[in-house]
Amino acid sequence: MLVNCVVYENGSKLADIPVSDISEYVSMPGCFIWVALHDATKEELVELQAEFDLHPLAVEDAQNGHQRPKVEEYGDSLFVVLHLLDAPKAPPTDPAPESERRRAEARLGELDIFVGRNYVVSVRNRSEHGFVEVRERCQREPDLLRNGPGFVLYALMDAVVDRYFPAIDAFEDELEVIEEKIFTKGKARESLQHLYAMKQRLTVFKHAVAPLLEATSKLHGGRVPQICVGSQEYFRDVMDHLSRINGTIDSVRDTIGTAIHANLSMVTIEDGEVTKRLAAWAAIFAVCTAFAGIWGMNFEHMPEL
């Protein structure tokens, strides 16, 4: 579905146009076109491929979806894949049920971005959270928008990475609640299930952040793609945010591992206490059994009587 198709000239919005008019503006000097799609069909991608001469391998990846976060260079154009992640909604006080875990996995979306000298094509898949605020931000900063598609790419990447912060904050809050219950009697097994479910969701998050951190390094250091020249410091800022998030993920994952070991120890201790109680009751009943075995028999002369 087409969200919008807008022409920009020298950092200012020129006009909203239909896709059929792209060819009239794409060769104009000082202009670039930003096309935004939501859950694009194969026909829409093929049409834009013809208009902007998109690389067929990049179009194929966008059609197939479920790509690893990456930045690929095709001649003088870029193809960027980002994962869209919302804050996890698993209840912090109870273990997340299987249905809730599956819904959390289903909220993992994808943003595919084609960037060229005079165009940006953003394709959002499996996510209802759009990027209207990104377009508004770009239009409020015409001096930066004069840098062209490279700045739009930065603005989209920055918006996606900023959405990772509430997700990691939710993980930390959830972990704090679990840590408070670790040594609560009778809660060890429940907390253990919650921790394993949380670890699985954190792994999905790690797969969204770690590859993107590596890919973003190509956009600000060394041989920077021509499209990104003039915006290197902005991509460096995105990489800094990704580094912070990646470090927090590693820290939370280590804490989860420690909490799992503590929970397993608590389960062992609770099982040991139950075994001790059973052994004590068994000793008590053993004495009664001994008395019953002696005095419960039919002696002609009872002992001690």
CATH number, domain containing residue 58: 3.30.460.20
Establish if 228 belongs to a structural domain.
yes
Kindly report the pTM of this predicted structure.
Answer: 0.81
Residue 88 is part of which domain span?
Answer: 2-268
Establish if 38 belongs to a structural domain.
yes
pLDDT tens for the chain, residues 1 to 305? 899 999 999 889 999 999 989 988 988 888 999 999 999 999 999 999 999 999 999 999 999 888 899 999 998 999 999 999 865 444 444 444 544 444 444 468 999 999 999 999 999 998 888 899 999 999 999 999 998 999 999 999 999 999 999 999 989 998 888 888 777 776 767 788 888 889 989 999 999 999 999 999 888 877 888 888 888 899 999 999 999 999 999 999 998 988 888 877 776 766 667 677 777 777 787 777 776 666 666 566 666 66
Which of 159, 2, 153 lies closest to 80, judged by CA? 153
Establish if 217 belongs to a structural domain.
yes
Establish if 285 belongs to a structural domain.
no
Establish if 241 belongs to a structural domain.
yes
- Domain count across the chain: 1
Establish if 113 belongs to a structural domain.
yes
Residues 127 and 130: their CA atoms lie apart, in Å, by 8
Question: Residue 177: helix, strand or coil by DSSP?
Answer: helix
Establish if 292 belongs to a structural domain.
no
Establish if 147 belongs to a structural domain.
yes
Residues 5 and 226: their CA atoms lie apart, in Å, by 24
